[in-house]
């Protein structure tokens, strides 16, 4: 590591002392032991609070976890600080700080105060691992090792737990929070985010495209050698038991073709669309894949056979026929769809990998996993889903012409493979039963707090910021930037969701962060900032 000069050292000290300076508006509630949401960028509030951040840093109540230069705005830097209680991370407690040469620019985050909890566990990590295995689960992926965390259970109540990501029978990915004193499972959360040699291939919809493959013996395998990361597609040929049994994805299961003229549409589209999505992120934002360091991108096709559908329980049908999901660690699983003679709720389902926006949606869950890590529950979970919808739609408009037909870009999700109509609409969420205004948001435990349905609110804001128009509920009109300028809105939302939001962000934080990102990118009172501000106001997020 290169030595730092005095100027850089002073800058680091300013950042260290400045990251909590915007607590002015929230400190009274925070000091009473409540959850505090911080979303501010008013420099005038900063100076009185320098002492507070110094105290927290010196006391070990926050820890720097990420620090990097902004790829979109020169001279800006982003830092993430995890909240600690007696040296133990507080789940969801996080500050995201943006700085410039003159000091702090903005801060967004969630903090918890008044935690009174002994952080010495009775159970060891090994014992917590055994508890997880007793739950008919095996550790899975990067978070498979038990990690000691303070879990906010309810307002003002906390538990010392081990967090561990596991896979149960089938491909049921869960986050377990195991009480570090008693071994009881405090929470059990669903953690699946649903939904070379150059050959030629025919996609699901009959379109011809290039396939970046690799020669392996006498055959060609779906392994992209033209892009920096390993992009590979694995075909399980309908053998669900085999898919359940594997502990990882291995080369013998790579999709393959004898003459490099690929005719399995699901394999062609899953593979090429993963490459398209990588290209979009690099060309639009300078991002190198899901983790910005070219982690492998792996897709799974044909986990089941269509003709076997009547032999499976509903859980398998919904997971592996009528779905696509991000399973973590760069792994996407694409549903098989339905036999042509069957419909579900009046819609036909083709191979799900045949939709570019679906592939980009699932890959974007990976981007979120490596950036803001938006907790997949309630409003932060809806933001997680919405960001994937936004980027899935953005990738469509990047590669396909605008229109209303197959292989054309629009504001519907999954419309190329779920016909007629697709799964959701960003332009008209209510037409699909999803709220388009904050006053209509759905509450309750279903779908992790209605994360898919409530995504309609930020989805509508994103659509209005680009295309303009009137919100159905508020009647407020938005002057969008126009389709020709969509890149400005894409960059503002991308920058906010990846660089500025904390893991437990709510809609209000997303509003503040996207407005700040627009201002940073295009200037105060720019058309971008105005459009983003009007759009959030129109959907009732103030």
* Active-site residue set: 362, 452
Tell me the pairing of strands 208-216 and 197-202.
Answer: antiparallel
d(CA 98, CA 502): 12
Give bridge partners of residue 104 from the DSSP assignment: 99
Nearest to 257 by CA among 222, 227, 229, 288: 222
Tell me the pairing of strands 297-301 and 231-235.
Answer: parallel
Helices and strands of the chain, counted as H and E runs? 14, 27
In this structure, what DSSP letter does residue 218 have?
A: T
Nearest to 149 by CA among 370, 373, 342, 329: 373
Q: Distance between alpha carbon 75 and the CA centroid of its chain, in Å?
A: 26
> Which segments within 356-513 are labelled E, that is strand?
412-413, 418-419, 424-425, 469-470, 477-478
Provide CB contacts within 8 A for 542, sequence distance 6+: 508, 511, 536
21-30: long-range contacts, CB 8 A cutoff, minimum separation 24: 21/45, 21/46, 21/47, 21/48, 21/49, 21/50, 21/52, 21/53, 21/104, 21/107, 22/46, 22/49, 22/104, 22/106, 22/107, 23/49, 23/52, 23/111, 24/48, 24/49, 30/111, 30/113
Cβ atoms within 10 Å, residue 89: 18
CA angle 423, 427, 433 (to 5 degrees): 50
Provide CB contacts within 8 A for 475, sequence distance 6+: none
Alpha-carbon dihedral of residues 343, 344, 350, 356, nearest 10 degrees?
A: 150
CB 500 within 8 A of CB 513: yes
Cis peptide before 420 (omega within 30 of 0): yes
Reported as half-sphere exposure (CB side, CA atoms, 13 A), residue 249 has a value of: 26
């Amino acid at each position: 590591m290169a030595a730092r000069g005095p100027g850089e050292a002073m800058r680091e000290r300013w950042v260290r002392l400045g990251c909590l300076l915007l607590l002015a508006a929230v400190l009274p509630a925070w000091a009473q032991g409540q959850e505090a949401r911080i979303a501010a960028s008013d420099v005038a509030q900063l100076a009185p609070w320098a002492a507070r951040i110094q105290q927290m840093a010196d006391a070990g109540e926050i820890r720097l976890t990420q620090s990097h230069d902004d790829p979109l705005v020169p001279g800006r830097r982003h830092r993430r600080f995890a909240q600690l209680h007696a040296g133990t991370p507080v789940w969801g407690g996080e500050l995201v700080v943006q700085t410039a040469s003159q000091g702090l620019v903005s801060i967004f985050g969630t903090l918890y105060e008044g935690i009174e909890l002994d952080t010495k566990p009775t159970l060891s990590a090994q014992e917590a691992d055994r508890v997880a295995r007793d739950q008919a689960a095996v550790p899975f992926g990067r978070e498979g090792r038990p990690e000691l965390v303070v879990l906010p259970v309810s307002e003002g109540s906390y538990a010392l737990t081990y967090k561990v990501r596991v896979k149960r029978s089938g491909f049921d990915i869960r986050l377990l929070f195991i009480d570090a004193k008693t071994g009881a499972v405090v929470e059990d959360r669903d953690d699946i985010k649903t939904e070379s040699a150059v050959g030629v291939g025919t996609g699901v919809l009959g379109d011809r495209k290039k396939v970046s493959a690799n020669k392996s013996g006498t055959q060609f395998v779906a392994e992209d050698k033209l892009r920096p990361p390993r992009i590979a597609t694995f075909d399980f040929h309908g053998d669900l038991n085999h898919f359940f049994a594997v502990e990882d994805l291995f080369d013998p299961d790579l999709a393959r073709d004898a003459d490099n003229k690929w005719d399995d549409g699901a394999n062609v589209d899953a593979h090429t669309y993963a490459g398209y999505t990588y290209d979009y992120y690099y060309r639009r934002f300078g991002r190198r894949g899901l983790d910005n360091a070219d982690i492998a991108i792996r897709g799974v096709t044909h986990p089941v056979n269509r003709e076997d559908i009547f032999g499976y329980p509903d859980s398998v049908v919904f997971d592996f026929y009528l779905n696509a999901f991000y399973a973590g660690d760069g792994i996407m699983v694409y549903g098989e769809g339905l036999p042509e003679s069957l419909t579900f709720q009046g819609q036909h389902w083709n191979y799900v990998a045949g939709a570019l926006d679906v592939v980009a949606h699932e890959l974007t869950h990976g981007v979120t996993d490596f950036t803001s890590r938006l907790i997949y529950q309630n409003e932060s979970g809806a933001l997680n889903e919405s960001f994937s919808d936004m980027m899935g739609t953005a990738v469509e408009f990047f590669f396909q012409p605008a229109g209303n037909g197959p292989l054309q870009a629009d504001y519907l999700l999954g419309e190329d493979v779920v016909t007629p109509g697709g799964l959701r609409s960003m332009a008209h969420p209510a037409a699909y039963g999803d709220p388009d205004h904050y006053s209509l948001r759905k509450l309750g435990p279903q779908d992790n707090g209605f994360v898919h349905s409530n995504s309609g609110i930020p989805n509508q804001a994103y659509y209005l910021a680009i295309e303009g128009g009137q919100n159905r509920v508020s009647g407020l009109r938005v002057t969008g930037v126009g389709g020709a300028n969509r890149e400005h809105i894409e960059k503002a939302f991308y920058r906010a969701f990846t660089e500025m939001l904390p893991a437990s962000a709510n809609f209000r934080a997303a509003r503040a962060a996207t407005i700040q990102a627009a201002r940073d990118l295009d200037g105060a009172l720019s058309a971008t900032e105005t459009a983003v501000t009007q759009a959030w106001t129109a959907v009732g997020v103030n």
